[in-house]
Amino acid sequence: MAEPDKQEFPSIMKKQVSRRDVLKAAGIGGVGILLGAAGVGGAFALADVLPDIQKKEKTDAIIPFYGKHQAGITTRPQNHIYFASFDVTAENRKDLIRLFQDWTEAAAAMTEGRPVGDESDNKFLPPHDTGEVLRLSPANLTLTFGVGPTLFTKNGKDRFGLRKKQPAELKELPKFPLDSLEERWTGGDLCVQACADDFQVAFHAVRNLARIARGKAVIRWAQAGFQRTKQAGSKNETPRNLFGFKDGTVNPDVNDPAELNKYLWVQPGDGADWLVDGTFLVVRRIQMFIEVWDRTSLKEQENTIGRYRDSGAYLGQKHEFDPPDFEKKDANGEYYIPITAHVRVARGDGKEKILRRSYSYTDGIDPKTGTFDAGLLFICFQRSISEQFIPIQTRLAQTDHLNEYIVHRGSAVFACFPGAKKGGYIGESLFS
Ligand code: HEM
């Protein structure tokens, strides 16, 4: 997997120019500085160097599209997300398959930083690619595709002859207490999760996939999200959510295949052979009442989550990754981690583990209240929705102290295909 933070400039170093000089030339200091560093009549010209930088950025920032599993699941979260849910308008199976084939070709190109379709210079036709990322780095773009329950059956109708292949797990979630879901953030026949270290790259990808889908699928809802960028925090610390707390500390180990086979990837015998090596995605658009939170004492905030805000350690512990002690009591005989703290309720007896890969969002101001419409685009992946997400969310909806500060506004579930092989297409196993 590409390592986005690693910056190497080997071809330039050979020419004895410092990395600082090159960075200046690439944007900060402008052309003159590099020419100055090379000296008049120096060993190379600016034109020799810039293509090296561009080439290097391109190869460093590519996450392979093809593989056993789709990218964008165990991939270290990039800075930005653009998540889109689609309704299929195609009326037959052939057109649906064609959509996935076209999407595969475009996705493979875009994740390598190539434009979609041929670069035609016919001035009498719209260009194939919309153009806003021409010659930019692919910025670790990943595109992850999934199918929702309504692709299989809708209003009792077997839409594409796929009913028999619908996994038992893939159905609308139960209504949880306190849910306040809105139709405009809910459901969908297909999903595309685009993640990249550059927002324009992520948006470009979904925009072009939507263009390709014309006549076959339309966007039902979409949500952009972000976390701190690597420019602002290069140390690879756990990112913080809009409540100021580190979010994403406890997750399955993405480098442990046994753990991933147990908790993440669908296995043979699970009931949907076409989905083996794929996974289930749950997305919840959760509004966070940040103005209310900001008026709350630090102690109340920490008791709500069950961790210290600054270090991210569990209450009663020192370091972020120290294990919790749920029995530990303070001098007053109170549990350090209150019974209703988010982490205690979410963990339960520790049997269910989900891979959380969420992003913050802000969407302007809620016109009804004048407060921010901001929160968490909560995304998690798991092998079984009924045995992992549902029990956790059932507990949270009942007793999580955090419920005073959040409300779930959107929800959808998708089955994310296994990865595509070169020469094949995403979703092929569903149709074969
Ligand atoms: C806006 C809503 C939410 C916020 C602000 C939030 C915040 C947090 C924070 C700060 C942590 C502690 C750090 C960490 O381990 O990542 C945490 C842990 C966790 N959260 Fe959430 N969370 C939210 C929603 C959810 C939802 C909907 C679920 C699942 C249904 C969930 C499941 C978990 C789990 C499983 C843990 C780890 C518990 C442990 O073993 O310590 N969270 N969350």
* Residue nearest to ligand 1 atom 33, measured at CA: 346
* pLDDT given at position 33: 32
Closest ligand 1 atom number to CA of residue 288:
1
- Is the pLDDT reported for residue 56 higher than 70? no
Q: How far is the CA of 189 from the centre of ligand 1 (A)?
A: 27
Band the pLDDT of 230: cuts 50, 70, 90.
confident
* Residue nearest to ligand 1 atom 25, measured at CA: 378
Q: What is the mean pLDDT of the chain?
A: 88
Residue scoring higher pLDDT (42 or 289): 289
Q: How far is the CA of 252 from the centre of ligand 1 (A)?
A: 13
- Is the pLDDT reported for residue 279 higher than 90? yes
Cα(316)–Cα(309) distance, integer angstroms:
13
Write down how long the chain is.
432
Tens of pLDDT, residues 376-406: 999 999 999 999 999 999 999 999 999 999 9
Q: What H or E segment, with its residue span, contains residue 372?
A: strand 372-382
For helices 31-38 and 46-60, give the axis angle rounded to 10 degrees.
Answer: 110
Q: How far is the CA of 247 from the centre of ligand 1 (A)?
A: 7
Tens of pLDDT, residues 113-123: 999 987 777 88
Closest ligand 1 atom number to CA of residue 241:
5
* Residue nearest to ligand 1 atom 8, measured at CA: 247
- Is the pLDDT reported for residue 154 higher than 70? yes
What is the arithmetic mean of pLDDT over 276-299?
Answer: 98
- Is the pLDDT reported for residue 17 higher than 50? no
361 strand-pairing partners: 375
Q: What tokens were used for 130?
A: 């919309």
* pLDDT given at position 6: 34
Probe residue for ligand 1, chosen from 284, 314, 342 as the CB with the greatest number of ligand atoms within 8 Å: 342
280 strand-pairing partners: 382, 415
Q: Let me know how many helices (H) and strands (E) the chain has, helices first.
A: 13, 11
- Given the DSSP bridges, would you call strands 190-196 and 142-147 parallel, antiparallel or unpaired? antiparallel
Closest ligand 1 atom number to CA of residue 396:
30
Closest ligand 1 atom number to CA of residue 248:
16
Question: Which residues, at least 6 apart from 315, have a Cβ–Cβ distance to it below 8 Å?
Answer: 302, 303, 306, 307, 308, 336, 337, 341
Band the pLDDT of 59: cuts 50, 70, 90.
low
Tens of pLDDT, residues 174-229: 999 999 999 999 999 999 999 999 999 999 999 999 999 999 999 999 999 999 98
Q: What H or E segment, with its residue span, contains residue 290?
A: helix 290-294
Give just the sign of the alpha carbon dihedral 187, 354, 309, 196.
negative
Residue with tokens 């993405």: 254
* Residue nearest to ligand 1 atom 12, measured at CA: 247
Ligand 1 pocket, residues with Cβ under 6 angstroms:
241, 243, 245-250, 284, 286, 288, 305, 307, 342-343, 346-347, 354, 375-376, 378, 389, 392-393, 396, 406
| CA 339 to chain centroid | 31
